[in-house]
Amino acid sequence: MKRRVFLRSLAAAAAGTAAGGAAGRPVRWSRARAGRGVARRILPLDPAAVLRPARWAG
Amino acid sequence: MYTGGVSAAAGSVVCELCPRMCELAPGRRGDCRIRANLDGKLTALTYGLPCSVHVDPVEKKPLFHFLPGTPILSIATAGCTLHCRNCQNWEISQANPEDLDVAALPPEDVVALARRTGCPSIAYTYTEPLAYFEYTLDASARAREAGLRNVLVTAGYINEPPLRELARVTDAANIDLKFMSDRLYREVCDGTLAPVLKAIELSKSLGVWVEVTNLVIPTLNDSDDALRDVARWIRRTLGPDTPLHYSGFHPQHRMRNLPPTPADTLRRARQIGLAEGLRHVYAGNVTVEDGETTHCPACRKPVLRRVRFEVVERHLAGGACGWCAESIAGVWK
């Protein structure tokens, strides 16, 4: 059940951007992880990070 | 969303995007981790939510015959249609989207960001752009309208109908051809060979500029025969002007038991590719002298010399060799 609730919040965020919603309102989503203090979020885009080549391959 | 063509149990949906054809019960997600059945509707969980946004040199993709020396806005969301044991980007490709910080970046913002950062093109890369298909497609369409180009860096594991749709707005692709062996695709990548060959061939036939990468992994596909099979298939199917990048392996993820690819192996690979009749064969990811230099196929002089991801010498005039005027295949402007 937790996972399903979570998936809905993620899908809602994706639907928000699909509908032209902007960043801004940080959405903190939580699963079991949140209990361990590791909640992942929608963050504002970091312009400095954008201008660096990624550490990822490709 | 590429669903509905195949019958499924009540409440379930079949995702028809990639050859896996995952049947998703209500509330479940697919093998790629980013496509879920919510209320009987197939939903793209990472649409507009990239986990990585960077400006890279186009040479890093690697694309060596496509707008050389230009920056390219590179984006990725979580998820992949394959599960390669050697994945270099496994921390994002094999992650659940909820486990990564993301930015909200709808397609129109991707285009605006590319313009703001002076990028003439956008790459959908790092993980698998075909898994976050709808985001790739919509951003690509908007980029096209804005006069920007689109690049896929992909494993090519996709069904034909969605690939045909995406190819309409794609300018270039670097597609991995990991092995010429279905057995190795199954054992190492949890995929199959045939759809990848089909995707490469189809992309080329649909007018996408295609470069192919073959990761050379010691003991798996570093024999002369394996290297030759890749080059031979490319020459016969795509033509001798198709660039082939033999790339060095680094122990990663679930394949830390094998050593990195020696430079000598990549030198040998390059010689084999050239001997098979390919005109542009590169050796990358490991330092190999002249491994990343574009040579004129006629006079063999260097046309574009690269150090790491930077073009340091250029003898190219309007798509032709600056030394002898031989035409060099590629997208140069």
The rounded distance, in Å, linking the Cα atoms of B210 and B203 is 7
Residue bearing the bigger pLDDT, B111 or A30: B111
Query: What is the reported pLDDT for B105?
Result: 96
What's residue B192's pLDDT?
A: 98
Closest alpha carbon within chain A to B92: A56
First to last CA, chain B: 34
CB proximity under 8 Å: B 92-121 to A: 92, 97-106, 108-109, 113, 117
Q: How confident is the model at residue A2 (pLDDT cuts 50, 70, 90)?
A: low
What are the C-alpha distances in Å from B196 to residues A52, B218, B248? 31, 22, 20
Contacts of B60 in chain A (CB under 8 A): 53, 58
- Interface-testing mutation among B51, B54, B74, B215, with chain A (most A C-beta atoms within 10 A): B54
Alpha-helix residue ranges (DSSP H) falling in chain B = 90-93, 107-116, 133-145, 160-167, 182-184, 194-205, 224-237, 263-275
Strands B294-295 and B281-284, by their bridges, are unpaired
- ipTM of this predicted structure: 0.89
Give the integer Cα–Cα distance in Å for B117 and B100. 24
Q: What is the pLDDT of residues B157-202, one digit of tens each?
A: 999 999 999 999 999 999 999 999 999 999 999 999 999 999 999 9
Contact B286, B294 (CB under 8 A): no
Query: What does pTM read for this prediction?
Result: 0.93
pLDDT at A40: 63
pLDDT at A5: 59
Among the listed residues B98, B75, B79, the one whose alpha carbon sits nearest the alpha carbon of residue B90: B79
Which residue of chain A has the CA closest to B36? A7
Look at residue A34 in the predicted model and tell me its pLDDT. Answer: 42
Tokens representing B272 are 């084999």
SS3 B154: strand
pLDDT-based confidence at residue A6 (cuts at 50, 70, 90): low
Of chain A, the percentage scoring pLDDT greater than 90 comes to 19
- Give chain B's residues under pLDDT 50: none
pLDDT tens-digit series, residues B21-48: 999 999 999 999 999 999 899 999 999 9
Q: What is the pLDDT of residue A26?
A: 41
Q: Give the other-Cβ count within 10 Å of A1's Cβ.
A: 6
- SS3 assignment, position B165: helix
Note the pLDDT of residue A18.
74
Nearest to A11 among B43, B54, B109 (CB): B43
Chain A positions touching B117 (Cβ under 8 A) are 50-51
